[in-house]
Homo-oligomer: A and B are copies of this chain.
Amino acid sequence: MEKTLKELADHVGGKVVGNENLLIKGVMTIDDAIEGYITFISNKRYVNKLEATNASAVIVSPSIQSSQKPLLVIDNPYLAFAKIVDFMMYKKPVYSGTIDPTAEIGKNVQLGDGVTIYKNVTIRDNAVIKDNVVLSPGVYIGEDSVIGSFAVLHPNAVVYNGTIIGERVIIHSNAVIGSSGFGYAPDEGKYYNIPQVGIVIIEDDVVIEPCTTISRAALGETRVRRGAKVGSNVVIAHNCDVGENTLIVSQSGLAGSATVGRNVIIGGQVGIAGHLTIGDNCQIGGCSGVANSLPANGKYLGTPAIPINKMRKCYAVINHLPEMRQTVKDLKKRIEELEEKLNDK
């Protein structure tokens, strides 16, 4: 369904510079866009692509005021892009709102209004499934767990017993929430499995991507707070606490009892050691290994992670270490020669 540029601007709260009545078919990236589509520039690096793109219109920030192309000007072009994709292109899934007869529903399970339960779902005793929850095929909900309203669990996701999942949470396929984590007490060369009697709490509006595992607490709780987004194949160990609106990119791992503040961004493949505290608003570059707690509002990088500006300088030197080593050897020789000369005198 085509929309005019004006309709799109109104939808996102921006203003049009140029032909308001231009018909837009959809959104494409700046490189791929063809005639009839709108694209966006959310990063100053790409401003030079503004005139070259084949898109018929471009969403830009107020720093760009004119172009040969019609513009949709708005403070946050990336957010506007997201909202326009949602508005024009996203085919919202339709759920049946029914319960498949093959689903196994345990004793004393509470089912809210409008829940959709597909084939081969298992819900164990005493679980609470709130209104409009969607449980896809193969999903497992353990005993005593609570799934908040409008939560969507994708195929084969597993929620162990006693887990609490908030409203509008999205759990992607094969993610595992609430399994017993790494708790083993050494016992004369063997290990005693420490029963993990705590739980996991996932607050409202969290997204958990596929194959991510979040372990239950040994005692107490593991908690992922409101609005946090957790990438694929991430591991969050027992007793961690992840702050509100924090992003954890794919394949990162938090060891036991790590505490991460709010609005933190953790890049991909980052490792955070146990019992550390990461302050609010920190940003940790990809592939970093965090060995010490990090103060709030900083940007960090490396293994062990240090302030990013410092680490970048270190990386620059590391690449020249062989030359530096040679320089030091040369200097040593020259000093020896100088020493000899002076002694000769």
Interface residues of A (CB under 8 A from B): 27-29, 32, 76, 78-79, 81-83, 85-86, 89-91, 102, 104, 118-120, 122, 136-138, 140, 154-156, 158, 160, 170, 172-174, 176, 179-187, 189-195, 197, 205, 207, 209-213, 215, 218-220, 227, 229, 231-233, 235, 237, 245, 247, 249-251, 253, 255, 263, 268-269, 271, 273, 286-287, 289, 303-304, 306, 310, 313-322, 324-325, 327-328, 331-332, 334-335, 338-339, 341-342, 345
Contacts and interface: CB of A to CB of B under 8 A. Distances in A.
B318 A310 contact: no
A209 B214 CA distance: 11
B213 A213 contact: no
A125 to B, nearest CB: 10
A195 B89 contact: yes
Given A79-B192, A249-B255, A331-B335, A303 B322 contact: no
Given A85-B219, A338-B338, A250 B237 contact: yes
Contact of A190 (B176, B212, B227, B325): B227
Contacts of A263: 189
A39 to B, nearest CB: 9
Contact of A211 (B122, B176, B318): B176
Given A82-B185, A235-B251, A310 B289 contact: no
Contact of A29 (B220, B245, B342): B220
Contacts of A155: 122, 140, 158
A124 to B, nearest CB: 9
A287 B286 contact: no
A139 to B, nearest CB: 9
A173 B173 contact: no
6 contacts: A138-B156, A140-B173, A182-B247, A286-B289, A310-B319, A316-B322
A86 to B, nearest CB: 5
B318 A321 contact: yes
A79 B27 CA distance: 47
B313 A322 contact: yes
B172 A174 contact: no
Nearest to A231: B182
A245 B334 CA distance: 53
